[in-house]
């Protein structure tokens, strides 16, 4: 049997665009979503619509968990019989234990895997895999590709508009006083994943309209000053708002490529419905 060159593994916090979904060498390992004592597999047996409905109308707390080391070991054992090497790109280690499970799974399977901390999530992971596939086409080794991707990860930029404070409150990231005051004043938090892969609060904007303008300004500034070529607009059940944001950006930056997509259910658990984010890599 002729071994294929590189298997690509991502967790389901990634934005699974058409390229990743249809690529024969890209494999997605799902995170888990828990409602009370019920467990669902991200992207498999819980649709985004079902998730938002349960969050809006259910009383059970909801949380996520990473795949087990055993699940990774099973996947890596299988892939090692078909591929020469494996590169795994995962959600930021500061936000999830997924990369630790991945590394443990590789040790259990006794398979060499280059695990790349994306320092991001969603389209941030997608962008790294797309870059990696281009590097693979150029003939770089899997070690060289992984090294370049770790450098690329530090060029990630993002601005996230939290659409609904309820999930931050339920998840323990807001006190009851902060939740009440924020809701009363219609405050829209803008958060960011910094270059260490950690979440940090950037700003508090006093209306949705001003918050959207904030995102527009950040994208246009990067396109004009840093020659950014591609920007992802990710949303949580807010397609209409995302498309409106795309149109507004194109009025000021008509040459930028804008990709609209929906965040995974595992991320929506934490971000909440109506969240919108703009994400890109510097050239």
pLDDT tens string 120-163: 999 999 999 999 999 999 999 999 999 999 999 999 999 999 87
Claim to verify: residue 144 and residue 161 sit in the same structural domain: no
Q: What is the pLDDT of residue 166?
A: 59
Claim to verify: residue 144 and residue 162 sit in the same structural domain: no
Claim to verify: residue 171 and residue 80 sit in the same structural domain: no
Q: What is the pLDDT of residue 177?
A: 37
Claim to verify: residue 10 and residue 106 sit in the same structural domain: yes
Claim to verify: residue 255 and residue 132 sit in the same structural domain: no
Domain interval for residue 140:
4-31+66-153
CB 267 within 8 A of CB 13: yes
Claim to verify: residue 120 and residue 162 sit in the same structural domain: no
Count of domains forming the chain: 2
Please tell me the distance from the alpha carbon of residue 219 to that of residue 249, in angstroms, as a whole number: 7
Claim to verify: residue 148 and residue 252 sit in the same structural domain: no
Claim to verify: residue 20 and residue 134 sit in the same structural domain: yes
Claim to verify: residue 165 and residue 108 sit in the same structural domain: no
Q: What is the pLDDT of residue 186?
A: 65
Smallest CA-to-CA distance from 129 within 260, 271, 268, 13 is with 13
Claim to verify: residue 114 and residue 230 sit in the same structural domain: no
Domain of 166, CATH number, reads: 3.30.1180.10
pLDDT tens string 74-93: 999 999 999 999 999 999 99
Claim to verify: residue 131 and residue 234 sit in the same structural domain: no
Please tell me the distance from the alpha carbon of residue 161 to that of residue 192, in angstroms, as a whole number: 9
């Amino acid at each position: 049997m002729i071994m294929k060159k590189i298997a690509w593994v991502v967790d389901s916090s990634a934005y699974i665009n058409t390229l990743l979904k249809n690529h024969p060498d890209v494999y997605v390992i799902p995170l888990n979503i828990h409602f009370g004592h019920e467990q669902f597999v991200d992207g498999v047996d819980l649709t985004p619509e079902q998730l938002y409905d349960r969050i809006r109308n259910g009383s059970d707390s909801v949380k996520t968990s990473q795949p087990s080391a055993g699940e990774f070991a099973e996947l890596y054992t299988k892939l090692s019989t078909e591929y020469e090497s494996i590169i795994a790109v995962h959600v930021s280690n500061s936000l999830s234990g997924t990369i630790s499970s991945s590394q443990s799974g590789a040790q259990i399977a006794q398979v060499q895997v280059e695990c790349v901390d994306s320092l991001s999530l969603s389209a941030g992971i997608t962008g790294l895999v797309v870059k990696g596939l281009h590097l693979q086409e150029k003939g770089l080794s899997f070690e060289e590709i992984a090294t370049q991707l770790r450098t690329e990860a530090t060029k990630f930029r993002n601005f996230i508009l939290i659409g609904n404070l309820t999930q931050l409150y339920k998840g323990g990231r807001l006190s009851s006083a902060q939740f009440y005051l924020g809701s009363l004043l219609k405050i829209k938090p803008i958060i960011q994943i910094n270059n260490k892969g950690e979440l940090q609060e950037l700003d508090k904007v006093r209306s949705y309209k001003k918050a959207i303008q904030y995102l527009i300004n950040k994208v246009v500034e990067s396109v004009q000053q840093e020659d950014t070529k591609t920007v992802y607009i990710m949303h949580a059940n807010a397609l209409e708002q995302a498309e409106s944001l795309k149109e507004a950006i194109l009025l000021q930056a008509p040459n930028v490529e804008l990709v609209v997509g929906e965040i995974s259910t595992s991320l929506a658990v934490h971000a909440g419905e109506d969240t919108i984010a703009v994400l890109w890599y510097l050239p």
